[in-house]
Structures are given as C-alpha cells and as structure tokens.
Amino acid sequence: MVEILIPEAEIHARVAELGRQIEADYQGKPLTIVAILTGSLILLADLIRTIQIPLRVALIQASSYKGATTTAGVLIINESFAPDVSGRDVLLLDDILDTGHTLATLVRRMADRGALSVRTAVLLQKVGRQEVKIEPDYRGFTIPDKFVVGYGLDYDDDYRHLPYVGVLNLEP
Ligand code: 5GP
Ligand code: MG
C-alpha cells in the first residue's frame, strides 16, 4: 500500500521553481546536468523542460540498494555513459539525499573529471539521516525518515511510475 506524501501538482510546481532558480544561476555558463540513474529519470525529464537556457544532459548510474531491501548496501557507480565534463559547470541531479554517500562520492568524481564547478540538486532530502556533510544547492522538499516510492523512486524496481511521492507500507 502506498500513501501519498507529495501530490503530483505540488511536485510539478516545485520542480518549475527549481528550474527558474537554475536558469537564473547558470545564465551564460556551460551547464551540464548529470542525472543519477535510475531514480532521477522522471525528475530529469520534468526539470529540463522548465529550463530555457542552453544545457547538456548526461547520465551516470549509481545504486546502493540490493533488490527488495530498504537499507543501503555498497555503493556501485557505473560511469560508462559518463560525459566529458572538463570545462563544464556540472549540476548533479538525484532523486533523494539520504545518508549523502552517493552525492558526496559523485561530487568528488566530477571534480576529478575536470568539471569547472559542481553543484547538487535533489527532489527530496530526508531529515536526520545524513552521515556525510553535504548540503544540496537545490532541494525540492524535506521529508521525514520514511521509505518513499514514486516519481522515479523504486522499491525492488517497482513503483517508479507513480506520478506522486508516497510512503510504502510493507505490512500486509
Ligand atoms: P544516499 O547515498 O544519500 O544514502 O542514498 C541516496 C540513494 O538511495 C538515492 O539515490 C536513492 O536511490 C536511494 N534512497 C534513499 N532513500 C530512499 C527512499 O526512501 N526510497 C527509495 N526508493 N530510494 C531511496
Ligand atoms: Mg538513486
């Protein structure tokens, strides 16, 4: 059972606001939005269509969950599609900031790859979960420490297609 936490219309309004901020901040800059697959897929598609300045899109895959669990495991990063970001202003895009390990690691990787600057944007940030000191530069919503699905976020690869963000209740 999934209980709606953030309705579709609220997500869309907030994503449009983030788009306007990003647009203002990156005027005249060589922006590359690097989306972290698979969770940020829907956010990426919605966000870039609210931004009217030139930008490039690139993808990196990272996962720290193994199948049907809601606790993080080893972080696996697949950079085989990773772009040439040298001389580019990189905006890393993820669905949710939880412990912070994923984003902190990828910020370092982008800097190592020669990015001019690296900032981060997330749709959601969970309160009281951070293990690594990292503040996202753009944040859609802060949410309580619950396991959420929908709008790209999965449980065992299901539920990504839900148009809202909801709390997954695994009790029968
Ligand atoms: P971090 O490295 O910050 O702990 O974890 C970030 C990643 O963990 C996110 O990109 C996301 O894939 C996954 N994650 C963290 N919390 C949740 C959650 O509540 N629901 C889902 N579906 N994934 C989560
Ligand atoms: Mg993810």
Q: What is the pLDDT of residues 35-52, one digit of tens each?
A: 999 999 999 999 999 999
Within 8 A by CB and 6+ apart from 9, the residues are none
Q: Tokens at residue 20, please?
A: 């306007």
- With a threshold of 0.85, does the pTM exceed it? yes
What's the confidence (pLDDT) of residue 8? 98
Selection from 134, 136, 108 nearest residue 120 by Cα: 136
145 in catalytic set = no
Question: How much is the average pLDDT of 86-108?
Answer: 96
The answer to whether 120 and 139 have CB atoms below 8 angstroms apart is: no
Reduce the DSSP state of residue 55 to 3 states and report it: coil
Confidence label for 103 from pLDDT (cuts 50, 70 and 90): very high
Q: What is the pLDDT of residues 127-153, one digit of tens each?
A: 999 999 999 999 999 999 999 999 999
Distance from Cα 98 to the centre of ligand 2, integer Å: 10
CA R_g for the chain: 15
| CATH architecture of structural domain 8-143 | 3-Layer(aba) Sandwich (3.40)
Q: Which ligand places an atom closest to the C-alpha of 102?
A: 1
